[in-house]
Amino acid sequence: MTLIGVLSGDIVASRDIADKRKLRGTIDTGIQRLGQTLGAVGTRFRGDAFQLAVPGIEDTIVAAVLMRASLLEHSPSRRQSWDARIAIGIGEGEVPAPEDFINADGEAFVRSGQGLDALGQGHQRLGLFLPSPQPDLNLLIQFADDIISHWSHNAAEVVRLSLTSDHSQSELAKRLERSQPTINRRLSAARWSLIHAFLEFTRERLEAMK
C-alpha cells in the first residue's frame, strides 16, 4: 500500500481581490516552491483554486503551512490579507506526472476534495482528513490554524524562509535587510516556536502511518 497526500485549496473571499494577476502568480510560485522543496506535483485551476499531490505524507502539513505563508506574505495589506482553505487528504494512490495531473484520481484525491467541501461549511481553514480519524491531531490543527490565520505578511515571510532554509536569525536579518531584534519579534508574533513544534509532532505522527 502506497500512501500519498493531496492538498486541495481555494482562496478565501477571492471575489473581493482586485489584483487577480498577482494572486494567481503567487499561487503559481507557491506550487513551484513545493515542487522544488518537497517533490510535490500540482496545478492551479479555475483561476484561484489549486491542488497538489505530495509523495511523502509526512510533508503534507508543512506543505499546507508553506502555501498559506506564501499567500499571506504577498498580501496587499494587513486589512486585505490573502489566505486559503486547504484540505489535506491522506490515502492510497500515486503521484501523477505533471502532464497527467488533470486526470489524477484515487482515494487521497477524493478525500481531499470532500474535505475542502467540509471546510467551506465553517471557519476553519486547515484540515487533515485521514483514513481513520485522529481527534487529537484534529484538535492540534485547529490551534495551529488559528495562529496562522492571524499572521501578518511580515510574520508569514520569516516563517516561510525559516521553513525553506537553514538560515539563523542573523542570516535572515541580513537577507531581509532588517535588524536581528526585528526578525525575532516577527518570529515571536508568528508563534514560531509553537508552530515548529507542531510541525515536528505531526510529521512524526504521519510518518508512523506509512
pLDDT of 77-94, one tens digit each? 777 889 999 999 999 989
* Count of all residues that appear for the chain in the document: 210
C-alpha of 134 from chain center: 20
Model pLDDT, residue 77? 76
Cα separation of the two ends of the chain: 9
At the second CATH level, the architecture of 3-207 is 2-Layer Sandwich (3.30)
Distances (CA, A) of 140 to 198, 199, 201, 210: 8, 10, 10, 20
Name the average pLDDT for the chain.
94
Model pLDDT, residue 15? 86
Please give the biggest Cα pair distance in the chain.
49
- State the cell numbers at 88: 489535506
Q: Mean pLDDT over residues 33-56, rounded?
A: 94
- State the cell numbers at 150: 492571524
Amino acid at 50: F
8 Å CB contact between 5 and 88: yes
How far apart are the C-alpha atoms of 40 and 60, rounded to whole Å?
A: 9
Model confidence at 124: pLDDT above 70:
yes
Question: pLDDT band at 166, cuts 50/70/90?
Answer: confident
Model confidence at 186: pLDDT above 80:
yes
How far apart are the C-alpha atoms of 19 and 22, rounded to whole Å?
A: 6
Partner residues linked to 85 by β-bridges: 10
Q: Percent of the chain at pLDDT above 90?
A: 83
- Predicted confidence (pLDDT) per residue in 91-112, tens digit: 998 999 988 998 888 999 999 9
- State the cell numbers at 195: 508552530
- Whole-model pTM: value is 0.95
8 Å CB contact between 82 and 70: no
Model pLDDT, residue 80? 83
- Predicted confidence (pLDDT) per residue in 139-152, tens digit: 999 999 999 999 99
Question: pLDDT band at 162, cuts 50/70/90?
Answer: very high
- State the cell numbers at 57: 505524507
Q: Mean pLDDT over residues 186-204, rounded?
A: 97
Delimit the domains of the chain by residue range: 3-207
How far apart are the C-alpha atoms of 170 and 187, rounded to whole Å?
A: 13
Backbone angles phi, psi at 185, to 5 degrees: -65, -40
Model pLDDT, residue 175? 93
Distances (CA, A) of 85 to 148, 150, 184: 12, 14, 28
